[in-house]
Structure 1
Amino acid sequence: MPLTTKKAGDCRGTEADGARSSKWCSLCYVNGKFVDPDCTVDEMIKIVDTALRRDGARFPFRWMARRQIPTLERWR
């Protein structure tokens, strides 16, 4: 998921010191930890897709997110 968008603003997660993460979004990373460390890639795809739909994202954007999520360092 992009870390910043015009519509959503800053979507970056936070590090333990309160600084914004340069790697992770606020859906999965807060206070220096993954919100759900046992979350699978398929579960994260559903979480992100639901959030994007709620925010009115069109299909191409959701499709791109579905393709990007499995390539993130978290699931390598």
Structure 2
Amino acid sequence: MKEYKFCQSCGMPLKKDPQTGGTNKNGSKSLKYCSYCLVDGEFTSPEIDTPQKMQKFCIEKMKEQGMPRPIAWVFTRGIPQLERWKK
């Protein structure tokens, strides 16, 4: 199984996830998605259905935590290349 360093939905470093990963439908730990994005095999925000919406969401969350918008954008610019968003 491939080991991921970043959530393949939002791009957050998996080592920064307090739960160390989301959960699959069978209750096992997801090695691909963080606990903010995947719970019980379901994405937590079904309304976020494009990489652009995910970028906007993540930038807003980072701004809430005091990060300047330009830096937040730099951290989120790779989201469209993550596995969830590749077509």
- CA displacement, residues 18-52 of structure 1 (integer Å, 9 cap, x when unaligned): 22211112332211122317611111112222222
TM-score, L = length of structure 2: 0.61
TM-score, L = length of structure 1: 0.67
Letter in 1 for 2:14: L
Task: Give the greater-gyration-radius structure (CA).
Answer: 2
Give the structure 2 partner of residue 46 of structure 1.
56
Percent identical: 36
> How many residues are aligned here?
73
Tell whether the 8 Å contact from 2:21 to 2:30 is kept in structure 1 after alignment. Answer: yes
